[in-house]
Structure 1
Amino acid sequence: MGSATTQALAASTAALAQAKGVTLDTAGELFTAARLVGESGQLSGALADPAAPEGLREKLVASVFASMSDTTRQLLTTAAGQRWSDADGLVDGIEELAIRATAIAAPSDDIEGELFSFLRVIAGNAELELALGGRLGDNEAKGALVEKLLGGTASAPTVLIVSSLVRQPRGRRVRQILNRAMKIVSAQGGRIVATVNTAAPLSAAQRTRLGDALAARYDGQVSINEVIDPTVVGGLRVQVADDVIDGSISARLADLRQKLAG
């Protein structure tokens, strides 16, 4: 991410934090806006052109998104008024605003946990991953499939995020899309994501102790995503961003074999 995009995204998310009346409808409109901008090189280029007068970009937003709510248009106007590194950065930024708006609109829903659960389902089902991420499929049909699969099991915010993202993959793998969404939701809630691989499910007490230890280590609230992995053998493998803490027996055995071989 370029420095210009980093600053533009910071300004746009700050505007979202100050916005009043952010609802799931707002999030849905932002997802629609991201898709429209992403599908039109002419529109994305015009809105992300740093040489274009800010007033001209504001008028373009008002014209193209006239049917959307005042809150959504104000957020899009703020985003379009920033200096982005490129047009793709603007589309990514609007998409992130949509994901964050979803989290803001439904703070009590376990969106992150539901995204992680669906991510694990996809990871274990190559046919489903191909159906949702294949380049040849119709994107609208992919969104409808997600709505059918998750409609009775996941919350409306989660369904909105996943169905919207698979409708606009922009060359990304579906697992990449969901991982990004999960991280954004966690960041919006001020949480750190820890993926824990364990041979057997953790008890409530173990999750609490682990959460407390990680919170102290990383100085923040930690959300634990648990993966049952028989190859771990014993102990735990914890990953927080690029930081890996591998206390599994399998890791110790691998280390021992390496030392013996050396």
Structure 2
Amino acid sequence: MRGASRESLARAQEALAGVTVTEGLGAELFSVAKLLDGNGSLRRALTDPGRSGATKTELAEQLFSGKISAPAQTILSAAVAGRWVSGRDLADALDQLSVEADVAYADGQRKLDELEDELFRLDRVVTAERQLNDKLSDRNIAVTARQELIHGLLQGKADPATVRLAERAVDGRGRNFAGSMRSYQVAAAARRSASIATVRVAAELSEAERTRLAAVLGRQYGRDIQLNVIVDPSVVGGVRVDIGDEVIDGTIAARLDEAQRRIAG
């Protein structure tokens, strides 16, 4: 998001931080985002720059009072009171806030570590299982049918917050399943003011090695680092680390490739 939309999102995030987060808050915010997706006139009315924040807040209260919880209403009111570069930005913000609400709830239940781990492992399973990935991303299959598929896969095996987020990722609001899942992992990491580092190694790291690597990366980037470790024999040896758009490739395979390029050049 840009400019005014980013500032408005920040104020809505402050509102989220100030309410009691319930188990269903994330689903409520997401349902409002979906409503705005399908109702252009409502979206324009709630983001009209010609209307004052108070007028838009009053409209939101008239439309949603009694239909969503008090915490959801508080967050929605804070959001519509702001200015948005695009009408779509408001729906995107509520989508993001819905994820942050689920993450906050998991954190309050002391299950944030579990949520992060389950999101990561599910992302890896779906990425590896081409047929499953295709089904979850197939827009010709009804959303409810795809959600039933992921629910059946996770039922009894994952925390309810993980299941809710996975079902939401199937819906996607225009993003594919993998893209949604990775954004959820980023939200979970942000909850602990950390960044996610995807680490590829030839063999599993010991707990001591994980701790040392996280500490080194934390010093380099100036913040806590959450490691997601992938065992990948193709790296041959060493470590490849992806943090956002940055890549630190210290693998033997990378060094061999570089040597071959120098010889060829």
In the superposition, the TM-score normalised over structure 2's length comes to 0.93
Q: Secondary structure at the match of 1:52?
A: coil
> What is residue 72 of structure 1 aligned with on the other side?
72
Return the match for 1:199 from 198, 202, 221: 202
Residues 98 and 87 (structure 1), Cα distance of their counterparts in 2 relative to 1, 3 Å cut = same
1:227 partner amino acid: I
> What is residue 11 of structure 1 aligned with on the other side?
11
Count of residues in correspondence between the two structures:
260
> Equivalences for 1:243-254 in 2 at 5 Å?
243-254=246-257
> What is residue 157 of structure 2 aligned with on the other side?
153
Give the conservation status (yes or no) of the 8 Å contact 2:169–2:176.
no
Q: Structure 1: which 5+ runs fail to align? A: none
CA positional deviation for 1:223: 0.7
> What is residue 120 of structure 1 aligned with on the other side?
124
> Equivalences for 1:1-262 in 2 at 5 Å?
1-19=1-19, 21-66=20-65, 67-107=67-107, 108-109=110-111, 110-167=114-171, 169-262=172-265
> CA–CA distance in 2 between the matches of 1:6 and 1:181?
19
Of residues 214-223 and 243-252 in structure 1, the stretch that sits farther from structure 2 once superposed is 214-223
1:50 partner amino acid: P
CA positional deviation for 1:56: 3.4
Kindly provide the CA deviation profile for residues 7-46 of structure 1, in whole angstroms up to 9, marking residues without a partner as x: 1111111111122x11211122112222222222222222
CA positional deviation for 1:182: 1.2
Give the conservation status (yes or no) of the 8 Å contact 1:30–1:72.
yes
Residues 79 and 131 (structure 1), Cα distance of their counterparts in 2 relative to 1, 3 Å cut = same
> CA–CA distance in 2 between the matches of 1:190 and 1:261?
44
In the superposition, the TM-score normalised over structure 1's length comes to 0.94
**What is the aligned-residue identity percentage?**
34
2:3 partner amino acid: S
Root-mean-square deviation over aligned CA pairs:
1.4
CA positional deviation for 1:94: 0.4
Give the conservation status (yes or no) of the 8 Å contact 1:103–1:189.
no
CA positional deviation for 1:60: 2.9
1:215 partner amino acid: G
CA positional deviation for 1:144: 2.3
> CA–CA distance in 1 between the matches of 2:119 and 2:63?
31
CA positional deviation for 1:210: 0.7
1:148 partner amino acid: G
> CA–CA distance in 2 between the matches of 1:202 and 1:162?
28
Give the conservation status (yes or no) of the 8 Å contact 2:170–2:176.
no
CA positional deviation for 1:59: 3.0
CA positional deviation for 1:216: 1.3
Of residues 251-260 and 44-53 in structure 1, the stretch that sits farther from structure 2 once superposed is 44-53
